[in-house]
A = this chain, B = another copy of it.
Amino acid sequence: MDRVDEFQSRREEGNRAVLDLDHLGIKRFYNLDTNTYRDGALPAKVKELLGLVASLVLRCNDCVDYHLIQCAKAGWRKEELVDAMNVALVVGGSIVIPHLRHAALTLKTLEERGELAS
């Protein structure tokens, strides 16, 4: 298992535990969250990139991994993702660097898996 598989398996286990809590408000939030990244006035592809930058400046590694995977599926190329990561670095400062390191390693794994558009 590489870091992408490991993340996805851990994420699924956690989401199952959350949904087992069986709280209507939490389920509605999950639903709202999913709909947020569907095509709207902005295409889904652009909104995934917004999610990536928001995750980096808020310094959440799991959210970074999730949005990197989604961005790769949406067709963003490596150079474009890195340019977005640079915006997050400048907005968020050097405190973002450990999360940039995390993102760079996940990006490398996605590339090795052949899941990044070229």
Mark A residues whose CB is within 8 Å of B: 11, 13-15, 17-18, 20-21, 23, 25-26, 28-29, 32-33, 35-37, 40-42, 46-47, 49-51, 53-55, 57-60, 62-63, 77-80, 82-98, 100-102, 104-105, 107-108
Contact A42 B83 (CB under 8 A): yes
What's the minimum C-beta distance from A35 to chain B, rounded to whole angstroms? 6
Q: A41-B79, A41-B82, A95-B55 are in contact. Are A87 and B14 (CB under 8 A)?
A: no
Interfacial chain B residues near A101, Cβ < 8 Å: 11, 14-15, 17-18
CB distance from A97 to the nearest CB of B (A): 8
B57 touches A14 (CB 8 A): no
Q: List residues of chain B with CB within 8 A of the CB of A47.
A: 83-84, 87
Other A-B pairs beyond A29-B32, A42-B80, A57-B57, 5, CB < 8 Å: A23-B85, A46-B49, A54-B57, A89-B93, A90-B94
Top-10 shortest CB links A-B: A14-B101, A93-B93, A17-B104, A41-B79, A62-B98, A41-B83, A25-B86, A42-B83, A54-B91, A92-B93
